[in-house]
Structures are given as C-alpha cells and as structure tokens.
Amino acid sequence: MEEDILRVLKALKRREPLTPGKRVRDFQLRVQRVKNGEPAEFEGFLLLRKPPNAPDDAVYYILSPLQPSDLQKTSITSYLILRITEDSRISGNVRSGSYVRVLGFMDSYPYGTLRMLRVSELRSEDYSKYWLQYDEMALSKREFENLFMDTIYANYDFEKAFLYSLFASPKIVGSNREWGEGVTFSAFKNRDRIVLSIWEAVKYITGLFPRELHLRKEKKWHFVDEYLDLDFVVYLSETPVRYYSPFSKAVLKNEIPAPKWAFRYFKSKNAVFLTPKKAKILPNDPLAYLSEVPFILNEPVGYERNRELEQLIPNVITTIFKERAKMASMSMGDRALQRFRERFEDWIIRNKREYGEKFDALRLSGMIFETNTRFLLSTNLLGSMARFEGGLKRSIISDVLIINQEILDMWMNEIPPDILMKAVKNYERYISGDRRANIALSIFMDLEATSADGSVSREEFHNALVKYGFRENDAAKIIERLMREGYLYEPFAGKLRMIKY
C-alpha cells in the first residue's frame, strides 16, 4: 500500500511535457480571444503557401504556431491566415519556414472558420524565441541531469561532459579566435565495440532533437498537410546552436568524422559536434586538437531508451535556450576569467614539473595540448559548464582543470611510447640552438617585468623586437612561432602572456 502511494506521488510530481498540442491549443485560445477589428500581435512560422480559396485582392499566406518539424508530431493543427498588402511593412530575412512576428488587425477569413490577420507589419525574429515562449517549463539542473544519467551509462566525467556540451558555449569577447558557440565532444579508441557503443548512444539522443536543430547540408524540405490538402516547402530557421553526430558509422574512421561540407562548421565552432572516432591515439589528431573534451574510453558506453526523456525533449531544449539567453557571452576582461587564466597557468606549470619534456612535446604547434588553443578550448568548456550550473561559479574553474587533468593523464598513458618519444625528439630539435627565439623571449620577459598586469601587447613586443635588431617581417614571424610552440599565448586579442616554469 505504501509503495502504491509513493508511486502515485511520484507520478503527480512528474514534469508536464511541452508538447506541440499544448502550443496549438494555447495559440488557438489567443486567436479566439481577439475580436474582429481589434489589434493583435502573434509569433510563429511563416508558410509561403496560399490557403484554400484565397481571394485575389491581396497576398495570403499562413502562420503556424509550430515549427515545421513539429507539425508532423500532432494531429491538432491551427493556422492564422495572413493578409498582406502594399501597405504592410516587411523587414528582415523572411522566407518559408522563418520565425516571424506579425502585427495587424483581426478579421474573419472569407471561407471556412479560419481567422485572418490584416498585416500592418511582419518582421523576422530570432528562432530562439520559439523555445523561450515557455521558459517556465524549463527543467531544473537536477531534473536535466537525472534524465540523461538514466539514459547513458558511462564514466561519470564522460556523462557530465556530454551534458555540458549540449549547452554549447558562450561567445568569448576579446578572444583571438572568432569561434561561434559550438563545442566538440569527442571520444577515441581503436576498438569497434567501444566506438560503436558511443556512436549509438549519441545518435539516439541527438535523434530526439527536432530537425531544425540538426546540422544538415540540405536547408529545405517538403511537408504535406493532409487536413488542408496543402504542400509546403520550408527552410531551416537560422540558429546559432545546431548539433551534429555522424549519420553513418562509415565516417567514424575519418580524420574528422564528418562530411566535407561540415568541416567549416567544425573549424569555426558553429555547431556542437558529438562524435567518437576509431583511431590510434596520436598527439596530433585533428579532432582531438579542437575538442574541449577528447576522452579516451576503455569500456563501452551503455544506453537505454528513456520514454520520459523522449517526452521531455522540448523541455530539454527550452532549458538549453533559456540558459543560453542568460549567458550569451563572456569577456576575457572579466575578473572570473582572469582568475581562470592564472589557474590555467598554474596547471601548465604543475604538469611541466610532473611530465617534463613529454608535456612540452604535446604543447608544440598542432599537438593536442598546444597552449593557446587548449586555453581557449578550456575557456569554452568553462562557459558550457557555467550555462549548465546557472552561472560562472568559482568552483567551476577547479572542475574544468580537473577534467583537463584527467584528459591529460589519459593521453599520457594511452599514446604509444614510440610515438611519444618521437614527439619528444621533435621538441628537443626545436629548442636546441635556437638563439633568435631565446633572444626574443628575453626581450619579452623584460617588457613583462614592467607590465602592470603581467601581459604585453602584441604591438609593444613587435616594436621592441624591431628596436633590438629584428626586421619587421622577422619580428611578426617570431611572435607567431613563439605562440605556436607554446612559449606565449594570447588570452585575449592583442595581449600576450608567457607560460613560466
């Protein structure tokens, strides 16, 4: 009896799903409440298709409260007819499937029971607002975490890092790289069973996301409304957050497990890439090089279909967009990121002492722990975690460095000894006899000694090199080289800092 009561109580506490049917019913109620002749304002998706029996006195289109992929998920439909004339003001990039805001005066459609808006203004809107309409239905951090922890079974840090990745990362203002909000969550092993298990788990979860949030080559598709006997051509709305997982297991062996058309999104971080890779563990792997969390797994990942997760996916997406809106960007000038830079430098120094030349070899240009790139990737991870946690808390900085340490230890243990020693020899060849680089570093240290914040502007360093005998062109090259090889890094645009041992 007591177990039955607990089961009922648990059921009563279950979160209400944000279904397409709820959106339709709420939209229909709003339409019905407005009387003919009254001003009204609505948001929805524009369908550039004439409604049935449209008169010839104006242009008539359709407004849907649902994004195109949601139209296929409900038997309840509701549309608002838009009457557009020469006096209607239209602004923004508007096409079929665009999320728009329309203002005008309510009227009845001449045929049938549909309502009509005589449009005075129509403008494109940020697609994110579709998910923010019901931000009160977002999940709590615990609800969000429990949903996924009940679905994926893997190393705890792997599970958490996967959740962080779903939130993408705020844009970093002041960074020397123009990255978008995307992140790359990757996992490596040269064993089919492990790699395929990761792929299947990730593919299941991303497959629950609506088509509008998938990174795809095709930008449009056809949809047929059998009730109104109308066919629509719709285009994907522009959104800064899209998700990619490999469509086929065949690409899991590629250097970048994605089709060629997706490479530009990968390199500019304009999508969230969630992908495993079957490969030898190499320190210059291009996927690992641009991954915030390049895990190496030695056990398969388990997952099971989770009906509650499937029902609450709209709530999950609402949560992601809500937290994204709360933290759209971070600035390198913020005190929290300055603390993170200091802690990151300390982390570099500790591992330099722990691993010596092995660590230095992995920080050369193109290697997985190239200093400046790894700093920026770690900052991205910090932003993702801050979104998940609801703010940039001090404890998150420690968590990022703990994850970094785990990943570094994994790679140190998993890189074949002969490959690691080859990297060390390359490093030794680089540092031996490079008198000009040593002179340049000495000049930088002199400038740094008089700097108020421990950083030196790129322009100041360049001018000092020229003053001490470097040619203009050589000065620019030596700065880039010192950054590539891990002696200097650029925590924010135009400012250089040195890693001290």
**Alpha carbons 326 and 170: distance in angstroms, whole number:** 10
Q: What is the pLDDT of residue 449?
A: 62
CATH of 135-207+245-422, one of 1.10.3470, 2.20.220, 3.30.70, 3.40.50: 3.40.50
Which pLDDT score, from 0 to 100, does residue 11 have?
46
Q: Enumerate residues 6+ apart whose C-beta is below 8 A from 95.
A: 46, 48, 235
The per-residue pLDDT for 5 is 42
Measured CA to CA in angstroms, residue 56 lies from 74, 132, 232, 447 at distances of 32, 37, 20, 75
- Per the listing, tokens 């430098």 go with 345
Q: What is the DSSP string of 34-100?
A: SPTT-EEEEEEEEE-SPPTT--SSSEEEEEESS-HHHHTT-S----EEEEE-TT-EEESS--TT-EE
Contact 62, 89 (CB under 8 A): no
The answer to whether the predicted template modeling score (pTM) of the entire model surpasses 0.85 is: yes
- Rounded Cα distance between 139 and 155, Å, is 24
Query: What is the C-alpha separation between 42 and 82, in angstroms, rounded?
Result: 11
The structure tokens listed for 397 are: 């900085």
pLDDT at 9: 38
Return the residue matching tokens 């239209």: 90
- 93-106 burial code (b ≥16 CB/10 A, e <16): eeebbbbbbbbbbb
Q: Nearest 5 degrees, angle CA 71-CA 90-CA 40?
A: 65
pLDDT at 491: 82
For the chain, what are the domain ranges? 20-125, 135-207+245-422, 433-498
Beta strands 302-303 and 152-153 are antiparallel
Sheet architecture: strand order including 243-244? 243-244, 272-278, 184-189, 293-296
Intra-chain end-to-end CA distance of the chain, in Å: 66
- Provide the CATH topology of domain 433-498: Arc Repressor Mutant, subunit A (1.10.10)
C-alpha closest to that of 232 among 442, 31, 434, 66: 66
Give the Cα separation of 129 and 135 in Å (integer): 10
The upper half-sphere exposure of residue 73, i.e. CA atoms within 13 Å in the direction of its Cβ, equals 20
Task: Give every CB contact of residue 494 below 8 A, 6+ residues apart in sequence.
Answer: 176, 457, 458, 459
User: Smallest Cα–Cα separation from 242: which of 144, 321, 134?
Assistant: 321
Residue pLDDT tens, the chain, 501 long: 444 544 543 444 578 999 999 999 999 999 999 999 999 999 999 999 888 889 999 999 999 999 988 987 877 888 999 999 999 999 988 999 999 999 999 999 988 788 999 999 999 999 999 999 999 999 999 999 999 999 999 988 899 999 999 999 999 888 878 899 999 999 999 999 999 999 999 999 999 999 999 999 988 888 787 766 778 788 887 888 899 999 999 999 999 999 999 999 999 999 999 999 999 999 999 999 999 999 999 999 999 999 999 999 999 999 999 999 999 999 888 888 888 988 988 898 899 889 988 998 898 878 999 888 899 999 999 999 999 998 888 889 999 999 999 999 999 999 999 999 999 988 777 665 567 887 887 788 777 766 656 788 999 999 989 988 888 888 988 998 888 877 888 887 888 988 765
Fold equal for 20-125 and 433-498: no
- Give the architecture-level CATH label for domain 20-125: Beta Barrel (2.40)
d(CA 46, CA 100): 7
Confidence (pLDDT) at 452:
59
Residue 291, helix vs strand vs coil: coil
Predicted local distance difference test score (pLDDT) of residue 285: 97
